[in-house]
């Protein structure tokens, strides 16, 4: 059984499923390397415009597989250099999700813990089921709560004050709180989750490819910019957008009161 499944319910949408349900989709090193390769492939696929990330079974992702990690530590064969390499590989999953031109929607169908929470936070939008929960408990075991970008992402998504509370205490965020503080787009029943997320993806993809890809890029990049830098990047992107065929089509469709037919050009 493969640890990661990739499905294309339609040409423009890829569904990536973490597939170790017996371990709540805990991440092994091999699984991380496989996922990074899959994300690189999807990012390079111009026919794909949206990616949905979901877990098999009753969990989204429980983070690093601690059994595998403990076995390595007990053997004494893992060096600091090797540990740092794999730490960077774990962090690289979120970096890829942010950088890829496709919109990424996390369908959080259960616990999202540690690196699993980082995957959800690195996605562009999150839907959750009622029993979903987000948790970084590293601070409780003598580590920092800064894992795979969580200390960067969480305050930008929900504000610094809330993020301080969550990361300093190591407490979990339940589905209702996630929706209330804006971390989750909506709470959806488990049997309707994937259908709801697919419908949302199609709604987004009704807009032009240039608009969606570059809006995503603007959002992530401008989280790091000052106001003046953000305006400069917006201005450049907006003028480029006016030169696309899809912009002309959108204007013509608006004037004619008909749906636009985008070509991705």
- pLDDT at position 233 is 73
DSSP assignment letter at 64: B
Residue of 179, 176, 173, 84 lying closest to 133 (CA atoms): 173
User: CA 137, CA 123: separation in Å to the nearest integer?
Assistant: 20
DSSP of 79-141, one letter per residue?
Answer: -HHHHHHHHHHHHHHHHHHHHSSSEEEEEE-SEEETHHHHHHHHSSEEEE-TT-EEE--GGGG
Task: Delimit the domains of the chain by residue range.
Answer: 4-205, 209-256
Question: How far is 210 from 195, CA to CA, in rounded Å?
Answer: 25
Compute the Cα dihedral for 200, 205, 206, 211 and give only its sign. positive
The whole-number pLDDT of residue 85 equals: 79
pLDDT value of position 91: 84
- pLDDT by residue for the chain (265 residues), tens only, comes to 799 999 999 999 999 999 999 999 999 999 999 999 999 999 999 999 999 999 999 999 998 876 665 555 655 666 777 777 777 888 899 999 999 999 999 999 999 999 999 999 999 999 999 999 999 988 887 778 878 889 999 999 999 999 999 999 999 999 999 999 999 999 999 999 999 999 999 999 999 999 999 999 999 999 887 767 767 776 777 777 778 888 788 778 878 889 898 888 8
What confidence score (pLDDT) does residue 41 get? 98
Span 4-205 CATH architecture: Alpha-Beta Complex (3.90)
CA distance 20 to 35: 13
CA 24 to the chain's CA centroid: 18
Residue pair 28/61 in contact (Cβ under 8 Å)? The answer is no
What is the DSSP secondary-structure string of 195-216?
HHHHHHHHHHHTS-HHHHHHHH
pLDDT of residue 89: 84
Q: How many helices (H) and strands (E) does the chain have?
A: 11, 9
């Amino acid at each position: 059984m493969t640890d990661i499944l990739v499905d294309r319910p339609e040409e423009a949408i890829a569904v990536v499923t973490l597939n170790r349900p017996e371990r709540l989709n805990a991440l092994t090193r091999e699984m991380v390397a496989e996922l990074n390769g899959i994300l690189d492939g999807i990012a390079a696929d111009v026919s794909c415009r949206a990616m949905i990330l979901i877990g098999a079974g009753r969990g989204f992702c429980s983070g690093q597989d601690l059994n595998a990690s403990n076995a390595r530590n007990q053997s004494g064969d893992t060096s600091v250099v090797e540990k740092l390499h794999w730490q960077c590989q774990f962090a690289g999953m979120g970096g890829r999700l942010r950088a890829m031109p496709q919109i990424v929607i996390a369908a959080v169908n259960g616990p999202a813990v540690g690196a699993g929470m980082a995957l959800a936070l690195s996605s562009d939008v999150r839907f959750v089921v009622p029993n979903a929960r987000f948790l970084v408990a590293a601070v409780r075991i003598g580590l920092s709560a800064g894992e795979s970008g969580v200390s960067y992402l969480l305050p930008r998504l929900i504000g610094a004050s809330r993020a301080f509370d969550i990361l300093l205490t190591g407490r979990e965020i339940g589905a209702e709180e996630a929706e209330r503080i804006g971390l989750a787009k909506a709470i959806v029943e488990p049997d309707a989750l994937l259908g709801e997320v697919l419908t949302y993806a199609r709604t987004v993809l009704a807009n032009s490819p240039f608009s969606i890809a570059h809006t995503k890029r603007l959002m992530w990049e401008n989280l790091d910019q000052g106001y003046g830098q953000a305006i400069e990047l917006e201005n450049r992107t907006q003028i480029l957008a006016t030169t696309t065929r899809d912009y002309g089509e959108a204007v013509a469709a608006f004037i004619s009161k008909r749906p636009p037919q985008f070509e991705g050009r």
